């Protein structure tokens, strides 16, 4: 990065850059305040005459495919994280680009994982200029130490779709890892030795990128059924030995937390939904695959059985625990954005009620509605939350990048957004005066559930009324904060952060919500 970065204060008072990687930015204006205009981006018009008559788009290797796609300096190359930490395709593509000798690529993954730390070497060598996408572990440290040449841009899953759709990010070449595909490019994620479930994260890239390459380790005869990616959007198909390490793609079994304190939090969340009357026939909820969220599902399931309540749909991240709800008739559908364990993958492959969804259907804010805002309740985590319910999910309190945003921001639009968190971790209070990095505005966050009590956003007088008279430990958030600070031996010191932006956090509408500062 060079030169001084001009900053502006957005609607929540956060200082944000007005230019990011050479593009002008709109500071966050408030929830629902930004009005998009114009038309969506579009890929070039292609003609069938330029593609093989027999539909066979296979190319010997990825390097040749990239050359044929016209890879050159400064292009945007994208990958997707449906193979999670087991993915081999992203580095395969980036290393092929390095061999071709191009420089200054923008790598645009839907999320990056620790196993992709090889990207650091490619940044050092100048192959990659910068990353726009979630960065954690070694990549996050590289970014927050200010070593990346460009600025990181953190987007939610819906925000990534929105950015591609709106033309904020133009993908030159998308490289899609496919657990099953045919030579035409139809691709599916729920079958094959590297099966991962949904390929939804690659949908936007497959429809808006200039060029699309499908990489598979399970080529089947045309047609590949079902197809989650349409071969009609695909330029080339590359067959490889292995697209990923199955052990790291999905876990064999997902583990419920065994910590009594976390189990208590999970049970309080479920009890809250019951007491508030949200858990009723035909309701819907979403919970992730973290230890608390999984335990929450088990407690809620018990309560649903006791009260004879059935859900209309649940949204995944699916795991065996959601699959059991489906199989036991406690929900009509699973609408699944990504699949975390083998039971989830099998269920999606075999049960038509377990439906693969995408960031377009679930999360995209610049569309005619999305599923996330139809969900009655969502249970999420956070690294910090302040007394005004603003929350941080991307950085640790010391300013280091820790997590991507994932679908977190998009889920805040549910009917009741619940953050389930321990009130302190390793002596570090979770409820703070001001979050290090604002990822979710407090007006969107309704309930904080900790082991020491439940804090309801004062804006939600309806929820406060609904649980009045229950035995739940409902307390003002300030109360919990004071108690925890006493336990921890006073307020924590605030780590000193640098004054140089190294990444920005986008809101779901593409405006800039906050800045991640270089860690000194």
Partner 1 sequence: MSSGVDTTSSRSGQAGHWGKEVRSDLHVAFEARDSGGLEISLESRVAPYYGTAILEQAREVLAELGVKNARVAIHDEGALPYTVGARIEAAARRAGIGLGKRWLPEQHPLPGPSAKERLRRSRLYLPGSEPKYYINASLHAPDAVILDLEDSVHRDEKDAARILVRNTLRAVDFGACERMVRINQLPLGLEDLAEVVGESPDLILIPKVERPEQVVEADRMISEIKSRNGIIRPVWIMPILESALGIENAASIAAASENVAALTIGLEDYTADLGVAKTVEGRESQYARARLVNAARAAGVQAIDSVFGDIGDMDGLKRWGEASRAMGFEGMACIHPGQIRVIHDAFRPSPAEIEKAQKIVAAFEEAQTKGLAVVSLGSKMIDPPVVQRALKLVDRAKAMGAIS
The site for partner 1 (CB under 8 A) is made up of 260-261, 263-264, 397-398, 425-428, 451-452, 487-490, 492-493, 495
- Shortest Cβ distance from residue 258 to partner 1 (Å)? 9
DSSP 53-92: TT---EES-HHHHHHHTT--TT-EEEE--TTGGGB-HHHH
CB of 99 or CB of 496, closer to partner 1: 496
CB of 211 or CB of 452, closer to partner 1: 452
- Shortest Cβ distance from residue 306 to partner 1 (Å)? 15
Nearest to 354 by CA among 375, 377, 325: 325
Buried-exposed string 133-162: b where 16+ CB fall within 10 A, e elsewhere: bbbbbbbbbbbbeeebebbbbbbbbbbbbb
Rounded to an integer, what distance in angstroms lies between the CA atom of residue 262 and that of residue 292? 6
Decide: 363 and 408 in contact? Cβ < 8 Å. no
- Shortest Cβ distance from residue 300 to partner 1 (Å)? 17
Strands ordered across the beta sheet of 453-456: 354-356, 331-336, 311-315, 283-287, 377-380, 417-420, 447-450, 453-456
Decide: 348 and 188 in contact? Cβ < 8 Å. no
Rounded to an integer, what distance in angstroms lies between the CA atom of residue 457 and that of residue 112? 33
- Shortest Cβ distance from residue 14 to partner 1 (Å)? 21
CB of 6 or CB of 306, closer to partner 1: 306
Judged by DSSP in three states, 284 sits in strand
- Shortest Cβ distance from residue 436 to partner 1 (Å)? 11
- For residue 23, the Cα-to-chain-centroid distance in whole angstroms is 23
CB of 70 or CB of 495, closer to partner 1: 495
Rounded to an integer, what distance in angstroms lies between the CA atom of residue 1 and that of residue 271? 50
Nearest to 216 by CA among 85, 54, 62, 340: 62
- Shortest Cβ distance from residue 180 to partner 1 (Å)? 39
Judged by DSSP in three states, 429 sits in strand
CB of 156 or CB of 437, closer to partner 1: 437
- Shortest Cβ distance from residue 489 to partner 1 (Å)? 4
CB of 271 or CB of 331, closer to partner 1: 271
Compute the residue count for the chain: 520
CB of 256 or CB of 326, closer to partner 1: 256
- Shortest Cβ distance from residue 477 to partner 1 (Å)? 18
CB of 206 or CB of 392, closer to partner 1: 392
CB of 247 or CB of 487, closer to partner 1: 487
- Shortest Cβ distance from residue 274 to partner 1 (Å)? 17
Question: Quick one: angle between helices 342-350 and 320-327, nearest 10?
Answer: 40
Handedness of CA 371, 375, 381, 386 (dihedral sign): positive
Decide: 419 and 391 in contact? Cβ < 8 Å. yes
The DSSP letter of residue 105 is E
- Shortest Cβ distance from residue 472 to partner 1 (Å)? 14
Dihedral pair phi/psi, residue 386, rounded to 5°: -105, 175
CB of 314 or CB of 480, closer to partner 1: 480
């Amino acid at each position: 990065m060079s030169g001084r970065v001009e900053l502006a204060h957005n609607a929540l008072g956060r200082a944000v850059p007005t230019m990011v990687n050479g593009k002008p930015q709109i500071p966050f204006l408030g929830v629902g305040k930004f009005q998009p205009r114009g038309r969506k981006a579009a890929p070039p018009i292609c003609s069938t005459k330029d593609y093989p008559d027999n539909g066979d788009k296979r190319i010997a290797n990825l390097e040749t495919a990239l050359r044929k796609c016209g890879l050159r300096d400064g292009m945007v190359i994208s990958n997707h994280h449906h193979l999670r930490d087991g993915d081999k395709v992203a580095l395969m593509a980036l290393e092929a680009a390095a061999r071709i000798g191009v420089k200054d690529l923008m790598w645009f993954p839907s999320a990056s994982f620790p196993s992709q730390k090889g990207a650091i070497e490619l940044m050092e060598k100048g192959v990659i200029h910068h990353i726009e996408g979630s960065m954690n572990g070694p990549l996050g440290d590289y970014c927050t130490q200010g070593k990346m040449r460009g600025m990181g841009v953190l987007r939610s899953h819906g925000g990534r779709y929105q950015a591609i759709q709106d033309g904020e990010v133009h993908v030159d070449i998308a490289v899609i890892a496919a657990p099953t595909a045919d030579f035409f490019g139809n691709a599916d994620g729920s079958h094959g030795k590297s099966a991962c479930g949904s390929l939804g994260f690659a949908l936007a890239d497959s429809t808006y990128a200039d060029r699309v390459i499908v990489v598979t380790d399970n080529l089947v005869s045309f047609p590949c059924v079902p197809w989650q990616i349409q071969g009609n959007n695909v330029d080339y198909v590359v067959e490889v030995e292995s697209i990923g390490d199955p052990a790291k793609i999905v876990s064999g079994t997902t583990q419920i937390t065994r910590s009594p304190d976390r189990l208590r939090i999970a049970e309080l969340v479920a009890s809250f939904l019951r007491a508030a009357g949200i858990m009723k026939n035909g309701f819907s909820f979403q919970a992730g695959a973290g230890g608390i969220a999984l335990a929450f599902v088990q407690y809620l399931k018990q309560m649903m059985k006791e009260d004879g309540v059935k859900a209309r749909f649940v949204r995944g991240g699916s795991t065996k625990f959601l699959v059991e709800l489906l199989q036991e008739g406690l929900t009509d559908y699973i609408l699944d954005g990504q699949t975390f364990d083998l039971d989830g993958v099998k269920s999606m492959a075999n049960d038509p009620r377990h439906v693969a969804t995408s960031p377009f259907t679930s999360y995209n804010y610049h569309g005619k509605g999305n599923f996330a805002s139809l969900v009655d309740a969502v249970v999420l985590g956070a690294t910090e939350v302040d007394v005004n319910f603003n929350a941080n999910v991307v950085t640790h309190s010391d300013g280091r990048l820790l997590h991507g945003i994932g679908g977190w921001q998009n889920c805040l639009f549910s009917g009741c957004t619940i953050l389930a968190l321990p009130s302190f971790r390793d002596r570090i209070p979770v409820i703070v005066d001001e979050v290090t990095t604002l990822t979710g505005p407090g007006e969107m966050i309704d309930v904080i559930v900790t082991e020491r009590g439940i804090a309801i956003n004062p804006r939600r007088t309806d929820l406060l009324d609904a649980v009045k008279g229950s035995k739940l430990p409902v307390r003002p958030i300030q109360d919990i904060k004071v108690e925890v600070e006493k336990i921890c031996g006073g307020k924590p010191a605030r780590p000193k952060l640098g004054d140089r932006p190294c990444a920005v956090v986008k809101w779901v509408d593409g405006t800039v919500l906050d800045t991640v500062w270089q860690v000194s």
